[in-house]
Chains A and B, each alone.
Chain A
Amino acid sequence: MPTETSTLTTQKTRNTKQLSSKLIRLLVYLSAVVTFGSLLFIILFILVRGVPYITPSLFEWNYTTDNVSLLPSLLTTLIVVGLSLLIATPIGVFTGFYLVEYADRGNKIVKAISMATDTLAAVPSIVYGLFGMLFFVTFLGFQYSVISGVLTAVIMVLPLIIRSTEEALLSVGMPLRQASFALGAGKLRTIFTVVLPVAMPGILSGVILASGRIVGETAALMYTLGTSTNLPTDLFSSGRTLALHMYVLSSEGLHVNEANATAVVLVVFVLVINALSTYLSKRLSKGGK
């Protein structure tokens, strides 16, 4: 009977449908497990390999070839990140503001700037390193120094900050701006009291991303900041960041365990930065009056 056949076919298609949906669900679970598992594995691996070797001697003020203290590089990291952001954030944020709020979108120069920032963001960091070495270290004669490292890092993270600022500003909808303009507010007031508070978390996350990039950077800093084991005494002395320190330790092959311990400190360092910035951006976006 025709009715029976048709019920049979629908039964069949229903079965295949159920099967494929099950399969897809399995795949989704699987990829989630793989992603999360590998992250967990990496962290566990680092902790297991590194934690036993975290000793007080690693945190001694002066580096010697015996204690391979990481404290000087930890402090250097803070200095380099701090100085870089101090320079890059205002420049990047204001450039972003200019591009979104003031520049004429159709303008050729603006388009060029936009394209340049996109391209710069995609350039491998070793290229920045080479450029820094040729320009700051050699041409300007800064030698391997904090200033060379910082300036290179600034150029490297600038596109990142500009981009995220642009995106954050664009995400603030026209309705909010209109509301402000319709109340007779000028452009500056609108940007600073309405747009900025809303865009703040986005801008901040760009800055955090930038700091993360600097913390994890080795290639660009190796040829500009140098690898001196001492705490830099002024802008023109060399130093090494944690990541560089770790890189050097493991490439020398003499202090692999200490390198692992350094990795643990680095991971904790990054986690602390992240937590801090999340907290900060929450506070800022809530209190934006």
Chain B
Amino acid sequence: MNQTKMTIRDLNLWYGDFQALHGMDLEIPENEVTAFIGPSGCGKSTFIKTLNRMNDLVQGCRIEGNVQLDGENIYSHRYDVNNLRKRVGMVFQQPNPFPKSIYDNIAYGPRTHGIRDKQQLDQIVEESLKKAAIWDEVKDHLDRNALSISGGQQQRICIARALAIQPEVLLMDEPTSALDPISTAKIEELVTQLKEDYTIVMVTHNMQQASRVSDKTAFFLNGYIVEHGDTRKIFTNPEHEQTENYISGRFG
């Protein structure tokens, strides 16, 4: 059992009058892949965004409760959001590289956090692209616009970009839902490699993906976490009937 990296305690979230998350309690263990599964609109995407406070950008969003990163409440007034996001990186559903060169995409984060030295940036760019398993494919044209490469490659560029700021946690919001099966397989492979160095949280619609990639799984339904635990357990013998029904495709 690995150490707990993030702890969520009694988290409630409202969009205006609508309560989207109810009393969430969860531990996210270090160097493991935690998958969130559940039908559309169950709150899993909303929940993952609370972990790096991307919900701050949504108007009328109100949060109560406690999210701790290494024991520190990230919603405390003293907590610096930008620093939080440096430690908790994110990859989105749609590949969203900046319309800049591949190099500048990767270097954006480090530059944001004050790294200006060209040599150092070169090194970070290379390392990040290697970690994201795309270095070999793009090393000869780093100056090409990141939008000119394929969707699967773009997503790995986005992963590399997130890795370039050396986060501790990597949030992935349905990272393969817009990709073809081969690109998907590549990203899944990548995730299993990345967990050596990072704590990964992943939202997925694809049950097989959760079963193949994750160590822990949390099942969401209507803004509640119905069940969470070892992926092995959840996929072979879940405790709740709702979990069983969802995983075996009997509803949703």
Contact = CB atoms under 8 A, between A and B. Distances in A.
A105 interface: yes
Majority secondary structure, A binding face: helix
B94 A175 contact: yes
A194 to B, nearest CB: 6
B89 A182 contact: yes
Interface in B63-116: 82-86, 89-90, 92, 94, 96-101, 104, 108-109, 112-113
Given A189-B112, A289-B104, A181 B99 contact: no
Contacts, number: 69
A288 B99 CA distance: 8
Contact of A175 (B83, B92, B165): B92
Residue from the set A104, A105, A189 with the largest chain B CB neighbour count within 10 Å:
A189
A13 interface: no
Contacts of A181: 54, 57, 85
A184 B99 CA distance: 18
Interface residues of B, number: 28
A91 B113 CA distance: 31
B108 A180 contact: yes
Place the interface of chain A in its size category: 20 to 34
A8 interface: no
Contacts of B165: 183-184
Interface of A: 104-106, 173, 175-186, 189, 193-194, 197-198, 285, 288-289
26 contacts: A104-B59, A105-B59, A173-B96, A175-B92, A177-B57, A178-B96, A179-B98, A179-B158, A179-B161, A180-B98, A180-B108, A181-B54, A181-B57, A182-B162, A183-B86, A183-B109, A183-B165, A184-B83, A184-B112, A184-B113, A185-B82, A185-B112, A186-B82, A189-B112, A285-B99, A289-B104
